[in-house]
Structure formats: structure tokens, C-alpha cells
Amino acid sequence: MPLSNERRRACVTAVAAALPERRVTNQELAHQVDTTDEWIVSRTGIRERRLVEPGTGLSALAIPAARRCLEKAGVAAADLDGIIVATISGDQIMPAVANLVQHALGANNAWGYDLLNACNGFVAALSTATCFIEAGRAERILVIGGDVMSSIVDWKDRNTCVLFGDGCGAVLVEAAAPGSGNGVVGFELHSDGGKGDDLSLPCAGSLKPPAWAKGHFIHQNGRVVFQNAVRRMTEVVDSLMGAYSLTKDDIDLLVPHQANLRIIEPIAERIGLPMDKVVINIDRLANTTAATIPLALADAEADGRLKVGTRVMLVAFGGGLTWGACYLRWGR
């Protein structure tokens, strides 16, 4: 739907990150599996990642990220209406991480649930929050994207274990009056369940319960996922740009999901954006799944590239297969 000044706006007013202390370099992984720093850097752009200590749940990152986000916004936890956590690696299936965050913050007026959409999770959660706010069903929603990927990768499988990292980011989405200049302009979400097996976590659900230990790890058909990622992320950005008559000059910052630098570069090239307008954190953080985009937003804010009024295109792709994009003007 084209942007109308009559509509209530969902504005992203603050961002915060929480990362584990422990840095693990490619060289360290080369002691564990048959790989090299050269292979990992040249194939993916990853140089190091942050990992939690084993036995740490996502809430240990989500709670501090949420607290910092509210502090930055100057908003009391009691003023939140909802909390959505995008993740595929919550502490437990039940209760949801959103409920753990709600309790820890004392957000006593907020509902909360986790949203399972893999690497597209943050874009999906932000889109969901936008709908609540535009419909007048909420005033303030905390949207969190985070994953403890170290808990669901097979540390003996070089095809996957070198790719991922742990981390969490949170944004506050608040209502603004119609006519306000900033806020979410539009979004698009897609899925293709036919390719679900190309990126899966088979044994965590009802079909194959977790007791089937080996299947409790990420499985990925890297090449198929790579080709689909480049194609679908490019398509969805093109489509959103078309829907809102945007040109490359309307994008100040591209904040893509960080699965592979070789996926990000052709997307930027296709849009016609120089790489200095693209936020990259994969070199330092690897693929943190639902956390890549909010962590990249936090970096861009810290280095001064993201300010009130900055026009941002978010785009993600992941298991499902699912993909989506969201275009917004930062701040209120």
C-alpha cells in the first residue's frame, strides 16, 4: 500500500545490541575442524565470531539488549504493549524468550511471543509490530532479533560450524501521529516451503523429537541456499522499490542479512549502491541469524551512519525458505 500521510506511523526510535564477550577466530576453529582462515575469509567474508559459554540461553543476551534499548529511548518497561522475539534458538520451546524478557524487565502491561522465521525473523517481527501499531492496537513494541547459533550447530561439521555466531539486537517501535516524516514506509514478506529441506533444523519439533540427537543441528545445502539468497533478496528489494517508486538515491543505507559477503555484494551492485552505503558486520560477528540486522543497525548508529531521518532498506533471507525487505526512515 503506498505511503499515506493520513496513516499512523510505526517509528523505530532506538536500537541496542548485546554480544558475548568471547571472540573466536577462524584460526581457532581450524584446530577443531578441517578448515583454514583463507577458505573462510575468501568464501564468506567472516574473520571471527562471538560465542556464548556453553549452557547460556538466548535470554542472557536478549534481556540486556532490551534494557539498553529502553534506556536509550527513555521509555519505561511498564509502557510497553508487546515484545516480539525473532529467534530459532530460544532458551526453551516454552516459555517463549519474550516472556522471560517481559518478566525480567517488569514489563507488566506487555504481551509477548517468539516468532520463528530463521534469518528473516527480524524483518518479519518488525513488519508484525508495524501492523499492530498502524492498526492502533499498540503504542510501543519491543522487537528483538537474537540467536545462540553455537547451541544448534554441529561443531564437527565444517560446512556449517564456521558460518555462525551468537548475538542479539533490540529495537523499539513506537506510534507516531499521521503526517510524521519518519517511520516504516513499507515491507514485503515471502516464503517457499518447497525448498524447506535446503536449510533446516530437523529434530526439534513434533515430527522428529529432539531425542534424535544428530538431527538437532542445522543442515544446509549451501549452494542452493546461496543462489536463492542472491535471487530472492535482489527480487524483494526491486519489488519494494517499485511499489514505493524508490530509486537508489532514496536509500541512504542498505542493511542486509549477513550470511555471506559474496551474497551481499551482488545485491548492492544490482541496486547500484556503493559498499560504503552497506552495513557489514559479518567479518566480526559471522551469521547471527535473526540478530544480524538489529546488530548491524546498532553498529551503524554507533558509527554515525544511522540518524533520525536516515532512509534504510532492510533485507533478509533464510530457512523456510523465507525472505523479506522493509524500507523505513529512522526515528520519529
Of the candidates 119, 161, 168, 326, the residue annotated as catalytic is: 119
| 225 is a site residue for ligand UT7 (CB under 6 A) | yes
Nearer of residues 100 and 199 to ligand UT7, judged by Cβ:
199
Among 143, 148, 240, 263, binds ligand UT7 (CB under 6 A): 263
| 103 is a site residue for ligand UT7 (CB under 6 A) | no
Single out the residue of 251, 263, 185 nearest to residue 224, CA to CA. Answer: 263
Among 158, 248, 284, 311, binds ligand UT7 (CB under 6 A): 158
Residues 90, 94: Cα–Cα separation, whole Å: 9
Instruction: Tell me whether residue 119 is one of the annotated catalytic residues.
Output: yes
| 222 is a site residue for ligand UT7 (CB under 6 A) | yes
Residues 320, 197: Cα–Cα separation, whole Å: 8
Residues 222, 211: Cα–Cα separation, whole Å: 26
Give the H/E segment covering residue 114. Answer: strand 111-115
| 253 is a site residue for ligand UT7 (CB under 6 A) | no
Contact (CB, 8 A) for 254 and 315: yes
- Which of helix, strand or coil describes residue 55? coil
CB atoms within 10 A of CB 42: 11
Of the candidates 257, 260, 281, 326, the residue annotated as catalytic is: 257
Residues 56, 134: Cα–Cα separation, whole Å: 36
Among 117, 260, 281, 288, binds ligand UT7 (CB under 6 A): 260
Instruction: Tell me whether residue 257 is one of the annotated catalytic residues.
Output: yes
| 152 is a site residue for ligand UT7 (CB under 6 A) | no
| 113 is a site residue for ligand UT7 (CB under 6 A) | no
Q: At its nearest, how many Å lie between ligand UT7 and the CB of residue 162?
A: 4
Instruction: Tell me whether residue 168 is one of the annotated catalytic residues.
Output: no
Residues 42, 61: Cα–Cα separation, whole Å: 30
| 31 grid coordinates | 584446530
Catalytic residues: 119, 257, 287
Q: Which residues bind ligand UT7 (CB under 6 A)?
A: 35, 39-40, 43-44, 119, 158-159, 162-163, 199, 222-223, 225-226, 229, 259-260, 263, 287, 317-318
